[in-house]
Amino acid sequence: MWGLLFVKEPPLSHGEEVKIVWRMTGEGPLTVKATLPDGTAAKLAWGPEEHGGSSWRRPGQEWGTGLVFPKRGCWKIELTRTRGSGHVWLPVR
């Protein structure tokens, strides 16, 4: 699993949509879920949208997502396919 964040400048800010392009190996459609340890969920503004081609070379198929993190914290983003899963933690201020 690879993630490419499109942000004006780090760190990520709560309340603003961030585009993240994902590359993930495995099989089947991709689902994306982002939560805080207290159970708060981020809003998936759009996606995942499968990309047909790209100049970003990493293993696996590529998808784009738009996420809005409603509050500050360390967010767990979980990606799941029929065969394959992974997660990453992202700090949001």
Specify the pLDDT at position 10: 84
Tokens of 88: 């990453």
pTM score > 0.85 for this model? yes
User: Are residues 34 and 76 in contact, defined by beta-carbon separation less than 8 angstroms?
Assistant: yes
Specify the pLDDT at position 80: 98
Residues 48 and 78: their CA atoms lie apart, in Å, by 12
Specify the pLDDT at position 27: 97
Specify the pLDDT at position 9: 84
What band does 85 get if pLDDT is binned at 50, 70 and 90?
A: very high
What band does 8 get if pLDDT is binned at 50, 70 and 90?
A: confident
Tens digits of residue pLDDT in 33-80: 999 999 999 999 999 999 987 899 999 999 999 999 999 999 999 999
Domains of the chain are 2-92 (2.60.40.10)
Residues 76 and 69: their CA atoms lie apart, in Å, by 11
